[in-house]
Chain A
Amino acid sequence: MKQNNSMEQLLSLALQDAVERTQPALQNEVEWAAAGMESHTFATAFEKRMKHLCAQEKRRVWFERHQKGLRNAVAGMAVLLCVGGVTIASVDAIRTPLLQYFLKIGDSSSQYIPSSVINLPVSDQMAVYYPTYIPEGYVVVDVIERDTRYHVVYLNEEDQSFTLFFDCENSAISFNTENSVVEEIEIKGVPAVVSMQDNQTIVIWQGEGFSYTIAGNLGKEECIRILESTRVGD
């Protein structure tokens, strides 16, 4: 077996030398032209096929050359995603708004209301707390309703908007009063707080078993009129 192997090796070496010593069996373009041979014009289909093959080979070589870089890039992306995920999960300042954002998407999509009934934005259960007066030109663009509360977003053609919040339970409400004019008033004999800053108005009206907040590009009078049109406190 060992002798056979050495014979094969010798034969391989002799074959190699035979190839190297003889004239090349294939001439390149320069040798071909130098020999005065006529160049053949290949058919378009052939050229197309070869172009495709060349492109395929180029892609393969490119991937082979950049394999390491691509692998590193993918690994880097994976690490970034992991670090990002951990950061989001551990930092409240990022996690909370993000969760709220996604929860809001869920709520919005589950409470989609067809345009024909958009003027009745809340359920029958909440309709009793809904104001009968809404300033002209405003349409409902978003509604969120939960067990004891709802909020409705209104928008008019001039891009002015306001949001009406309602809750059956009274709870503390924080709002920004910096550079604002704050005023205490009464609506239907129940105390309310009005905060005005530029063209932004916030009205908080809380009574026995109800809490209304209006915030947006509305005047104080309009806000009061909306709240007065509710059935609570009657």
Chain B
Amino acid sequence: MIAYALIDDEQTRTLFEQLYYQYRQHMYWIAQQILCDEYLAEDITAEAFIRIAKKIDFIASLSEKQQRDYIVVVLRNLAIDAYRKKRKSPEVLTETPETSPIDDTLDEKIFGKIRYDNLVTAISKLQDPYLDVLKLRCLYQQSAEETANILGISVNSVNQRLFRAKAKLKQILKEEQYFDEAE
């Protein structure tokens, strides 16, 4: 009888409730790893759920893996933002200054020469800040404002980070010799 009630309860759960009961533990753990503060980690987890609730229709349109990925992007960036504020050091985890001139020409010439699988592999080698901005703008089709809101940075920084992410991707493709520029 109790088991039946539990099954019934799970079936009537909204998507938001399902996400909450499924992922709250790991979400808290991720926030705790970044913040090393139990109370702040709970606050950030709650804040992440508030943002999830606001975007629940969009999240519903994603596959399960994409849902998990989107939630992590939102949560991680909230935690990083909170950490930054906590430390009151704007330098922490902000844009990495480029030491070499940026080449963002991720153009059709390059894409024409690389194998699709290599592009996927190169993407997975990107650092989180670059990967997050690429995912939010190119995969989840979020606007620059929405992306800025999720990442806790300005719209200008979003555009700058996207620019650098593409340059970084090209750099990885070159370094891994996934395409030959001379060809």
Residues of A within 8 A of B (CB): 3, 6-8, 10-22, 24-29, 32, 37, 39-40, 42-43, 46, 49-50, 53-54, 56-58, 61
Contact = CB atoms under 8 A, between A and B. Distances in A.
Interface in B138-178: 138-139, 141
Contacts of B25: 29, 32, 37, 39-40
Given A16-B66, A46-B45, A26 B139 contact: no
Nearest to A33: B25
A3 B53 CA distance: 36
A26 B66 contact: no
Interface residues of B, number: 44
B119 A37 contact: no
Given A46-B45, A57-B16, A32 B26 contact: yes
6 contacts: A7-B106, A40-B28, A42-B42, A50-B49, A57-B17, A61-B14
A58 B53 CA distance: 11
Contacts of A29: 21-23, 25
Contacts of A22: 124
Given A37-B29, A42-B28, A15 B139 contact: yes
**A-side interface mostly:** helix
Contacts of B65: 19-20, 24
A28 B64 CA distance: 11
A58 B14 contact: yes
A201 B71 CA distance: 84
B46 A54 contact: no
B139 A19 contact: yes
A128 B25 CA distance: 90
Given A19-B139, A42-B28, A58-B14, 11 more contacts: A3-B107, A7-B106, A14-B116, A15-B135, A17-B120, A20-B66, A24-B69, A27-B23, A27-B26, A46-B45, A57-B56
Interface of B: 14, 16-17, 20-30, 32, 39, 42, 45-46, 49-50, 53, 56, 63, 65-66, 68-69, 71-72, 106-108, 111, 116, 119-120, 123-124, 134-135, 138-139, 141
A37 B124 CA distance: 26
Nearest to A29: B22
A11 B134 contact: yes
B46 A46 contact: yes
B171 to A, nearest CB: 15
A183 to B, nearest CB: 76
Q: Which 10 A-B pairs have the closest CB atoms?
A: A26-B68, A15-B139, A57-B16, A25-B72, A28-B22, A18-B123, A14-B119, A24-B68, A27-B26, A3-B108
Given A14-B120, A46-B46, A57-B53, A26 B17 contact: no
Contacts of B56: 57
B73 to A, nearest CB: 8
Contacts of B39: 43
Given A15-B134, A24-B65, A46-B45, A40 B29 contact: yes
Nearest to A23: B65
Contacts of A32: 25-26
Contacts of A28: 22-23, 26
A50 B124 CA distance: 33
B21 to A, nearest CB: 7
Given A15-B134, A28-B23, A53 B16 contact: yes
A58 B28 CA distance: 23
Nearest to B56: A57
A7 B110 CA distance: 10
A18 B14 contact: no
Nearest to B39: A43
